[in-house]
Structure 1
Amino acid sequence: MVSHRKGEGDSAVSPLKSSDAWSWRPGTWGRIRNWRYVYVLSVVFALCIFQVRFRGGPHDRVLNDVHNPESPELWTEWLNITPSEKLHWQPCFGIYGPHLQCARLTVPMDYSRPLNESADHPKVHLALIMVPGTGRTRDPSTYAEAPLLINPGGPGGSGVSFVQSRAGSFQLLVGNQHDVIGFDPRGVGASTPKADCFASPNSSNGVLGRNVAYMNRLTWLISGQEVGLINSSDVALNKLNARARTIAQLCRRVDESEGDGSIFRHMTTPNSARDMLSIIQAWDEWRSSSQATQPIQSSAAAHPHEQRTLNDSEKSKASLKGKLVYWGFSYGTLLGATFASMFPNKVGRIVLDGVVHADHYVNPTWDSSVGDADAVWDKFFVYCAEQGTLCKFYRTGDDPEDVRKRFSETLSLLEEQPASVILPDTNLPALVTASDVKKSIFFAGLYAPIVGFPVIAELLDHALHNRLGHIAKGAGMVSLCSNVTLPVWPDDAMKGIACSDKRYKLNDDVAGLQARFEKAASHSWFADIWFGGEPALGCNGWEIESKDPPMRWDDHPAHKPALIETNFPILILSNTLDPVTPLSHALEMTRKFANASIVEQDGIGHCSISCISGCTIAHLRAYLNEGVVPPPPKFKSDSSNDGQWPTCQCFDKPWTASGYEAEESLSRLSVNRSHTRAYEELRAQFSASILSQQLDYNNPLKEYLVERSGLATSYP
Structure 2
Amino acid sequence: MAWHRAFLFTSLIGSHAIAFASSNLARSENIAWGPCEVETLPASIQCGNLTVPVDYTEPDSDTTLQLQLLKVPALHEPKQGSILFNFGGPGLEARLTLAGMAETFHALTGGHYDLIAHDPRGTASTLTASCFANQTQRATAVLQTRLSDFPTPADEMALGKQWAGSVLMGDTCSHSQLKDHGRFMSTAFTARDLMQIVDAVSDDGMLRYWGFSYGTVLGSTVAAMFPDRVDKLILDAVMNPHQYYHECDIEIWSDVDKVFTSVFQQCLQSPKQCVLAGRNQTAEELEESIYALLDGVKRIPVVEGQTIIDHSFIKTFIRASLYSPKAYPNLAAALNTLLDRNTTKFMELWGKQMGNGGIFTGDLADDSPFAIPCSEKRTGKHTLDEIMPDLYSLVQTSKLLGEVGNGVAMVCSQWKIDAKERYEGNFEVTTKNPLLIIGNTYDSATPFKSAQNISASFEGSVLLEHGGWGHGTLSHGSSCTSRAIRNYWTNGALPEAGTKCEPDYPPFQPGSLQQVLIDIGFMDKE
Q: TM-score interval w.r.t. the shorter chain?
A: 0.7 to 0.9
TM-aligned CA distance change 1:118 to 1:453, over 3 Å: closer
> CA separation in 1, counterparts of 2:61 and 2:394?
48
- Contact between 2:187 and 2:422, CA under 8 Å: does it hold in 1? no
1:672/1:506 CA distance change after superposition, 3 Å: farther
- TM normalised by structure 2 equals 0.86
CA drift of 1:186 comes to 1.2
Quick one: which of 227, 230, 235 aligns to 2:151?
A: 230
Partner of 1:578: 443
Structure 2 counterpart of 1:108, from 29, 32, 53: 53
CA distance in 2, matches of 1:625, 1:546: 37
Which digits, 9 at most, give the CA deviation of each residue in 1:406-437, with x for residues without a partner?
22333234224323223xxxxxx222222111
- Secondary structure of the structure 1 residue equivalent to 2:98: helix
Give the secondary-structure state (helix, strand or coil) at the position aligned to 1:657. Answer: coil
Change (3 A) 1:190 1:441: same
Deviation at 1:655, TM superposition (A): 2.0
For 1:332 and 1:267, how far apart are their aligned partners in 2? Answer: 14
The verdict on how the C-alpha distance between 1:661 and 1:124 changes in structure 2, with shifts beyond 3 A counting, is: closer
| 1:78/1:190 contact within 8 Å kept | no
Residue 565 of structure 1: aligned partner: 430
Kindly provide the CA deviation profile for residues 630-651 of structure 1, in whole angstroms up to 9, marking residues without a partner as x: 24x4xxxxxxxxxxx1111123
Asked if the contact 1:420–1:432 (Cα under 8 Å) also holds between the matched residues in 2, the reply is yes
* Partner Cα separation in structure 1 for residue 118 and residue 241 of structure 2: 22
| Offset, 1:441 | 1.3
Higher strand share: 2
Check if 1:656 corresponds to 2:509.
yes
> What's the secondary structure of 1:147's corresponding residue?
strand
Superimposed CA distance per residue, residues 556-614 of structure 1 (whole angstroms, 9 cap, x where no aligned partner): xxxxxxx5221211101112233232222212211222211111112333222232111
Q: C-alpha displacement at 1:469, in angstroms? A: 2.3
Aligned to 1:401: 284
Secondary structure of the 2:175 match is: helix
CA, structure 1 residues 530+413, in 2 after alignment: closer, same or farther (shift >3 Å)?
A: closer
Q: Which amino acid aligns with 2:74?
A: G
Q: Which moved more, 1:468-477 or 1:524-533?
A: 468-477
1:219 to 122, 127, 140: 140
Q: Which amino acid is 1:247 matched to?
A: M
1:167 aligns with 2:102: yes
What is the distance in 1 between the residues matched to 2:192 and 2:147?
41
Using the alignment, how far apart are the partners of 2:237 and 2:278 within structure 1? 35
| C-alpha deviation, 1:277, in angstroms | 0.2
What is the Cα deviation at residue 343 of structure 1?
0.7
Q: Which residue of 2 aligns with 1:349?
A: 232
Matched, 1:608 2:473: yes
**Structure 2: how far apart are the matches of 1:586 and 1:385?**
29
- Residue 246 of structure 1 is matched in structure 2 by 168
User: Which residue does 1:516 correspond to in 2?
Assistant: 390
Aligned partner of 2:35 in structure 1 is 91
2:486 equivalent to 1:621? yes
Other structure's SS at 1:282 match = helix
Larger radius of gyration: 1
For 1:460 and 1:186, the matched residues in 2 are separated by: 38
Kindly tell me: are residues 653 and 225 of structure 1, through their superposed partners in 2, closer, same or farther at Cα, counting changes over 3 Å? farther
**Gap runs ≥5 in structure 1:** 1-54, 61-74, 136-141, 200-212, 288-320, 423-428, 478-487, 555-562, 634-644, 679-716
Q: Distance in 2 between matches of 1:86 and 1:214?
A: 37
Instruction: Give the distance between the partners of 1:365 and 1:621, measured in 2 at CA.
Output: 35
Distance 2:179 2:245 in 1: 27
1:548 and 2:421 correspond: yes
Q: What is the distance in 2 between the residues matched to 1:59 and 1:662?
A: 28
Q: Which residue in the other structure is 2:3 paired with?
A: none
Residue pair 1:90, 1:103 contacting (<8 A) in 2 also: yes
Q: Is the 8 A contact 1:333 1:355 kept in 2?
A: yes
Supply the AA of the counterpart residue of 2:260. W
Q: State the one-letter code of the partner of 2:185.
A: M
Alignment of 1:406-417 (within 5 A): 406-417=289-300
Residues in 1 aligned to 2:210 and 2:493: alpha-carbon distance in whole angstroms: 16
What is the identity percentage for the equivalent residue pairs of Structure 1 and Structure 2? 26
Counterparts of 2:399 and 2:327, CA distance in 1: 19
* Alpha-carbon spacing, 1:672–1:412, altered in 2? closer, same or farther (3 Å): same
Residue number in structure 2 paired with 1:432: 309
For 2:8, the equivalent position in structure 1 comes to none
Are 2:121 and 1:186 aligned?
yes
Please report how far the alpha carbon of residue 345 of structure 1 lies from its aligned counterpart in structure 2 after TM superposition: 1.4
For residues 188 and 179 of structure 2, what CA distance do their matches in structure 1 show?
24
Offset at 1:616? 0.5
Other-structure match for 1:702: none
CA distance in 2, matches of 1:146, 1:616: 23
Answering whether residue 183 of structure 2 is matched by residue 265 of structure 1, we say: yes
Check the 8 A contact 2:253/2:402 in 1, yes or no: no
Aligned residues: 502
Partner of 1:451: 326
RMSD across aligned positions (CA):
3.3
Gaps of 5+ in 2: 1-10, 358-362
Deviation at 1:189, TM superposition (A): 1.3
For residues 30 and 515 of structure 2, what CA distance do their matches in structure 1 show? Answer: 47
CA separation of 1:133 and 1:80: change in aligned 2, threshold 3 A: closer
Partner of 2:197: 279
Q: Does 1:338 align with 2:221?
A: yes
1:216 maps to a residue whose letter is: Q
